[in-house]
Structure 1
């Protein structure tokens, strides 16, 4: 197989079309997509591997019926119905059949028929009928490889010979169409690449990710817990996790105040009419928790915007006061479907490091640049690299196209004039305005969307916000929605996996653990711990009635930055035998030197 073999093309509009489609048109001026690991090629390869998997499943389980099999960030999946119970143990068998089919070098063909003909063709397949209900086109395309065919827009590689480097990763359940009231289908996830080495590297990363899973580490370190009897997707913060979170909150609180932000706090429930005015009820209502109080409908807040708007509106403001910056660690609730809940990364209650900045239209660019500088400082102290993406008007949105264009242009100009690189996510904006999304890269090179900056002309209009301008006339402010971490829950999940639970000293939930060798050494250990507590250093004295070796092993599993061993020599000479986990070093210090070292390493991180 030649390295530079063409598997698809990119047309003048940037749309990827496969060679099967290109054969039906003049593709002389199209950009070729070669068989490699470029994003465009991987999209085609992974989409095709999903169909290869479905073909293998159909061969092994002839009664199987298929719903959809898209490409996703982590590879691809297919949802299907089958009589047998399929588990992770069956994946090897399916993979083997896929390899056999790939070796046959089966040509992948595409043909299109009228939707009415397709409905007749698949009359006995209720899942295909469900797929067709979601398609408005009058003509539908079908891809066929050997004895397997399925409805699909494509694109696909021209032959199964290209599909050799893949791995099926897990089996899951998925409600039909994501609707919890419908039947549960079987879903199999997989990944594929153009070469073996990339697949090997990816699988090594997956194994490392399993070790770093924040749910696993969170349980081992006693950071947080969930209790399904109390409610799914509702995290409980245990003492160590609350200490970790508190340290991050305090660092950010001081950083906000230094930058002129004023703290505010709004109620967690408001009359539904407020959410109707804002547009949340119409555009976000399915994600809200609604209730009735005194025969009036109320909504628990999914966002903090309205509280800040009402605080702003309490007084008339002069242009001299703008930009006016409010911030809040706002607790919000969103009705996430049970199938997407995932540790701290996807929960139903979370706390945003939320802020809203009210400014004049002329201040949009300097405000956005100021926020980006804030973002940069925060990401640097945690060691994250990041990239930015502008998200434009979604299908469900409020406000005119003109307002959206003005807001989107303001974001682009702010980034362009300051030399920032960014991508575009068409249709990914909030329902009330376009946004800049901040995507960070962790130690495993995975990308996570965290912070966001959103320009909003709509809510100030809907709530009739005003300020007195330099001509002593009433004008409409612009509202900038802004979060840097996104939510404390999600950010701490990412941090936990990024550091594999070995948090840096300045945020570690327990910064020092003292291990006295014998009972006679406990008093000295507690004396040092008490002194460090005066400087807000969280310490523990581990003096259980166990062997020293066992206690040290137990303490090391807690991944604390510093372990201090206390024995006769240390008590006699007021010294400490230090095991520095982050530096992977052991050394002796006097008590004074040790206290000074810890104070320096835990001193306030300024942003």
Structure 2
């Protein structure tokens, strides 16, 4: 048969393996880096016979996204082989590839130690050297059950029974066999760069009522250089951990007496929040939003009407007052709809844009809580836009442009994806199609690229998710724009059109930063705690050499504060070097040193956190220099300085 192979038509003999065909079509150097084949968008082992219905065969290279996924999955099998060799009584469960790595869950009688990981890694290297083949075998479910029963692998038996398939595939490398769909690299020798990272607890199939397992995490790359870069990023991430920085900079803490996932903000952390929130209020006013505020709890009947009770209640908290059930709000949309509904609206009144820095509570499982990044109580920069259908595209564009302006201010690159209807959802197919098309139309009008994330929309509508990229090339979901035809219908929201008839508005749910807590956590890690000068809780610290300069230091402090600079004076009887090191650890943007020479010249000696030290300046010059840096990001982002 004749098929297309890497862009050229090739005659393929019946029974030829995918690897054989690709080897003939590619150079020796190219083929060396092929891990699997892609036939009509389906990944296949290189040893697989070319299917008779194959029209196009392509190589999948080791350093491609799909190739790395295969390598990592294969490395998970390699790790399971090593674990079974060293710990024969361990039972294996599942071992998928994940972003930047892989894991495998094991049932073993004692916790794995760091020394165990070293031994497992050494055994894996030995298996790589043996260059074992990954062999696939397609067998009946009955045969597979018999095989795994004989091996005592109870978890595999459960998986086979739950699959309900007549036939399954088993992969074997060395003495290890595993239930798996594949594909895999041809031989263990192709796994060239990997590292085991950590051990964590995990419940079988994510069910906290079932067996607790041990999850070994690892990472793998196509070559040692890429692995080294990733491991350096991991080490840098540890240094930038926002929880560590939060303590170092005295910003916040989490207290077990208060409860998991609840943040206690210290003065400097609260100052950062206040600056961010003031910035958001002013930017929203400039863009035609009105401020609103709803209660923290609402009657359960409202959550039932909205669909949250049926589709989201596992993430909500409930309480009872006067024998009436209430739900603590996980989001702010219900109150905003009630504001709209409180009076008759004309088509001339639309759009209505309601903004609230709303405190919300969501029940997150304790195992996923993580500093500021995953909490149970947080503040959203939440807004809801109710508009006519003919205004929808422009309103989506307006929000997307708002997001772009803010991300430019913080120096974040970002990507967009559209998440479509999930299995658990409300509303008609027609409304979902209209909403999805509106989101696509807006992004395409703006010329913004986007990807599709199938089945991950909100339960009431599709959404645009904005993902920002930090300094370590990590992605964080930030802003979102959700298009909703359903809740306005459920709450009977109407406006009077120019024809005098009642019409249904469309609602956009949107956030810009998202969770204020989470955004601060991401920003701290992005900049390693060295927040931009405009957002730093302390922008300048005055450091005296001896007590003799204290009086002049107080005068300098008052002058800076009069100009709106957040400054403080360190007049302690400590050595200057000690004071400087403390200020550096606290990431203070500017240190203004005052000794006898500076007092005589009525000046300060400036040390900058980020740039070359400007040296001796008058107080006026120092203030202007600091203010220039504070205003610069706003000028660069096309915004006016607003503080």
Question: What is residue 329 of structure 1 aligned with on the other side?
Answer: 357
Q: TM-score, normalised by structure 1?
A: 0.96
Are residue 83 (structure 1) and residue 112 (structure 2) matched?
A: no
Are residue 200 (structure 1) and residue 228 (structure 2) matched?
A: yes
Unpaired segments ≥5 residues, structure 1: none
**Could you report, residue by residue, the CA deviation over 1:467-519 in whole angstroms, capped at 9, with x for unpaired residues?**
11111110011000111111111111111111111111110121111111111
Question: What is residue 302 of structure 2 aligned with on the other side?
Answer: 274
The verdict on how the C-alpha distance between 1:15 and 1:261 changes in structure 2, with shifts beyond 3 A counting, is: farther
Are residue 582 (structure 1) and residue 619 (structure 2) matched?
A: no
The verdict on how the C-alpha distance between 1:309 and 1:155 changes in structure 2, with shifts beyond 3 A counting, is: farther
Question: What is residue 484 of structure 1 aligned with on the other side?
Answer: 512
Answer whether contact 2:39 2:54 (CA < 8 A) is retained. no
Answer whether contact 1:9 1:30 (CA < 8 A) is retained. no
Q: Distance in 1 between matches of 2:42 and 2:454?
A: 14
The verdict on how the C-alpha distance between 1:301 and 1:139 changes in structure 2, with shifts beyond 3 A counting, is: farther
* Alpha-carbon distance, 1:16 to partner: 3.0
After superposing on structure 2, the runs of 4+ consecutive aligned residues of structure 1 that deviate more than 4 Å are none
Question: What is residue 46 of structure 1 aligned with on the other side?
Answer: 72
Question: What is residue 8 of structure 2 aligned with on the other side?
Answer: none
Question: What is residue 43 of structure 2 aligned with on the other side?
Answer: 16
Alignment of 1:112-511 (within 5 A): 112-123=138-149, 124-132=152-160, 135-511=163-539
The verdict on how the C-alpha distance between 1:31 and 1:508 changes in structure 2, with shifts beyond 3 A counting, is: farther
The verdict on how the C-alpha distance between 1:117 and 1:530 changes in structure 2, with shifts beyond 3 A counting, is: farther
* Alpha-carbon distance, 1:86 to partner: 0.9
Question: What is residue 37 of structure 1 aligned with on the other side?
Answer: 63
Answer whether contact 2:73 2:102 (CA < 8 A) is retained. yes
* Alpha-carbon distance, 1:528 to partner: 2.2
**Could you report, residue by residue, the CA deviation over 1:161-210 in whole angstroms, capped at 9, with x for unpaired residues?**
21121111111111222223333211111111111111111111111111
Answer whether contact 1:438 1:449 (CA < 8 A) is retained. yes
**Could you report, residue by residue, the CA deviation over 1:543-580 in whole angstroms, capped at 9, with x for unpaired residues?**
22322211211121111110011111222221011001
- Which among 28, 31, 46 is matched to residue 4 of structure 1? 31
Q: Distance in 2 between matches of 1:56 and 1:207?
A: 26
Unpaired segments ≥5 residues, structure 2: 1-27
RMSD across aligned positions (CA): 1.9
Are residue 537 (structure 1) and residue 543 (structure 2) matched?
A: no
Answer whether contact 1:33 1:41 (CA < 8 A) is retained. no
* Structure of larger gyration radius: 2
* Alpha-carbon distance, 1:533 to partner: 2.6
Q: Distance in 2 between matches of 1:240 and 1:136?
A: 57
Q: Determine helix, strand or coil for the equivalent of 1:317.
A: coil
Q: Distance in 2 between matches of 1:199 and 1:279?
A: 46
Q: Distance in 2 between matches of 1:268 and 1:74?
A: 39
The verdict on how the C-alpha distance between 1:342 and 1:362 changes in structure 2, with shifts beyond 3 A counting, is: same
Answer whether contact 1:384 1:441 (CA < 8 A) is retained. yes
Q: Determine helix, strand or coil for the equivalent of 2:163.
A: coil
**Could you report, residue by residue, the CA deviation over 1:14-60 in whole angstroms, capped at 9, with x for unpaired residues?**
3433335x427237433423332111111111111111111111111
**Could you report, residue by residue, the CA deviation over 1:320-359 in whole angstroms, capped at 9, with x for unpaired residues?**
1111101111111111111111111111111111111101
Q: Distance in 2 between matches of 1:476 and 1:136?
A: 46
**Could you report, residue by residue, the CA deviation over 1:136-159 in whole angstroms, capped at 9, with x for unpaired residues?**
544333222121112222232222
Deviates further, 531-540 or 372-381: 531-540
The verdict on how the C-alpha distance between 1:89 and 1:251 changes in structure 2, with shifts beyond 3 A counting, is: farther
The verdict on how the C-alpha distance between 1:31 and 1:231 changes in structure 2, with shifts beyond 3 A counting, is: farther
Question: What is residue 627 of structure 2 aligned with on the other side?
Answer: 599
Higher relative contact order (CA 8 A, sep 6+): 1
Answer whether contact 1:261 1:327 (CA < 8 A) is retained. yes
Q: Determine helix, strand or coil for the equivalent of 1:489.
A: helix
Q: Distance in 1 between matches of 2:158 and 2:552?
A: 71
Answer whether contact 1:68 1:131 (CA < 8 A) is retained. no
Answer whether contact 2:139 2:169 (CA < 8 A) is retained. yes
Q: Distance in 1 between matches of 2:162 and 2:521?
A: 35
* Alpha-carbon distance, 1:98 to partner: 0.7
Q: Distance in 1 between matches of 2:182 and 2:491?
A: 45
Answer whether contact 1:4 1:34 (CA < 8 A) is retained. no
Answer whether contact 1:345 1:493 (CA < 8 A) is retained. yes
